[in-house]
């Protein structure tokens, strides 16, 4: 029976990847039926197993099925930006109720699709809605705060007083906020402790969108260059590119700092040296908006998710008590507004 479902899926949506389902589970062929609630995810140029951004969004979609909200969940990974509209249309034409589009680059295509498919609810992850578009909800996060937290942590833990960040393109505002927040957090920690930390932040803006987040070799090389200059903590901020930097840092014995998700859990090759991760709570944010779409309470415009930093895990005993206390105070200050990052929403 599962094989039959798989064949049906290939006929209807050839580019989709079918998730495992039970013998009595509805298939995407049923998505046109009012009683079957279907959710599709379209990634930007990247994979849903990137162990950070796209994966966190896909886990949110999967959670909606686990929670009994969605009946059918599927994803399409975009290989080329010119396919945005086609990939979104594949789900919409199949009768999907909610389409989650992941990444800043999909913003225009999402708004355009909402006009073409007024009966579909769209959730745009990292897509700020400057003007309200019916049917579109942007899920956004304070990346500058998450970057600020791990920048402060890196500065307080660095013995060389040199730390680095390897990021995707700064054309993408969330990436810019991460990198600049990291610098600002290090400066804030220096102000508290009377130290001076040199911060290397490099954005992979020398390539197109199809490469900037999928270049682990460049990420690793850039991290090694930073470590050659004395950096002993490296923040990887940009999908597979950032993962390359994190892994290289861990293999060299430096502190590795993850992004988007708690990468201690998703990047085992770097876990032993994973100090923390700058976290966007993407998974619950996506799942909550899907539930709101189903019960009718979702609103067009922007929905603000939460950010924070991950536990220290295996390195917990290496983090001094005074650093832990300082981090808790900084986090509290960011939440109550008494501490601000000073980071612009996008690159000037």
pLDDT value at position 7? 37
Confidence of residue 25 (pLDDT cuts 50, 70, 90): low
SS3 (DSSP) at 137: strand
Longest dimension (CA), the chain: 66
pLDDT value at position 29? 77
For the segment 43-74, what is each residue's pLDDT rounded down to a tens digit?
988 889 988 899 999 999 999 999 999 999 99
Between 238 and 25, where is the model more confident?
238
pLDDT value at position 41? 98
Confidence of residue 318 (pLDDT cuts 50, 70, 90): very high
pLDDT value at position 28? 72
pLDDT value at position 23? 35
For the segment 147-160, what is each residue's pLDDT rounded down to a tens digit?
999 999 999 999 99
How far is C-alpha 336 from the geometric centre of its chain's CA atoms?
Answer: 24
Q: What is the CATH number of domain 143-279+312-336?
A: 3.40.50.2300
pLDDT value at position 307? 93
What are the residue boundaries of the structural domains of the chain, listed by start?
A: 2-141+283-304, 143-279+312-336
Stretch 92-109: mean pLDDT = 97
Q: Count of alpha carbons within 13 Å of 3, Cβ hemisphere only?
A: 0
Share of the chain above pLDDT 70, in %: 93
User: What topology does CATH give the domain 2-141+283-304?
Assistant: Rossmann fold (3.40.50)
Residues 6+ apart with CB under 8 A from 103: 43, 44, 46, 53, 54, 125, 126, 127, 172
Do residues 99 and 92 touch, judged by C-beta distance below 8 A? yes
User: Is pLDDT above 90 for 322?
Assistant: yes
Confidence of residue 4 (pLDDT cuts 50, 70, 90): very low
pLDDT value at position 6? 38
Stretch 320-326: mean pLDDT = 98
Residue position matching structure tokens 């008494």:
338
Query: H/E element holding 257?
Result: strand 255-260
The DSSP line for 21-41 is --TTSPPGGGTTSTT--EEEE
Interatomic CA distance for residues 56 and 307, integer angstroms: 13
SS3 (DSSP) at 280: strand
Confidence of residue 27 (pLDDT cuts 50, 70, 90): confident
The DSSP line for 55-70 is HHHHHHHHHHHHTTS-
- Mean pLDDT, the chain, whole residue set: 92
């Amino acid at each position: 029976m599962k094989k039959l479902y798989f064949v049906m899926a290939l006929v209807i949506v050839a580019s989709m990847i079918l998730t495992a389902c039970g013998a009595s589970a509805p298939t995407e062929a049923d998505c046109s039926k009012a009683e079957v609630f279907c959710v599709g995810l379209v990634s930007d140029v990247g994979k849903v197993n990137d162990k950070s951004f796209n994966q966190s969004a896909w886990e949110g979609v999967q959670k909606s099925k686990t929670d009994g909200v969605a009946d059918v969940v599927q994803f399409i990974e975009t290989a080329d930006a010119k396919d945005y509209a086609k990939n979104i249309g594949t789900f919409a034409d199949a009768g999907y109720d909610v389409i989650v589009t992941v990444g800043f680059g999909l913003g225009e295509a999402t708004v355009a699709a909402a006009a073409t498919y007024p009966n579909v609810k769209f959730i745009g992850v990292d897509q700020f809605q400057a003007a309200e578009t019916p049917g579109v909800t942007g899920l956004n996060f304070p990346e500058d705060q998450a970057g600020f937290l791990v920048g402060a942590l890196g500065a307080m833990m660095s013995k060389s007083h040199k730390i680095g960040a390897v990021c995707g393109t700064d054309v993408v505002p969330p990436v810019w906020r991460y990198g600049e927040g990291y610098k600002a957090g290090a400066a804030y920690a220096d102000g508290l402790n009377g130290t001076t930390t040199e911060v290397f932040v490099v954005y992979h803006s020398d390539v197109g969108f199809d490469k900037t987040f999928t270049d682990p070799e460049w990420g690793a090389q850039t991290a090694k260059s930073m470590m050659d200059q004395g950096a002993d903590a490296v923040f990887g901020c940009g999908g597979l590119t950032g993962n390359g930097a994190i892994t290289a840092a861990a293999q060299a014995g430096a502190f590795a700092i993850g992004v988007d998700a708690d990468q201690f859990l998703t990047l085992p090759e770097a876990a032993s040296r994973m100090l923390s991760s700058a976290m966007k709570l993407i998974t619950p944010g996506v799942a909550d908006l899907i539930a709101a779409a189903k019960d009718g309470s979702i609103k067009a415009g922007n929905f603000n998710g939460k950010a924070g930093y991950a536990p220290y895990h295996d390195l917990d005993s290496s983090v001094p008590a005074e650093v832990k206390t300082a981090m808790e105070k900084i986090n509290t200050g960011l939440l109550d507004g008494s501490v601000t990052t000073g980071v612009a929403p996008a690159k000037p």
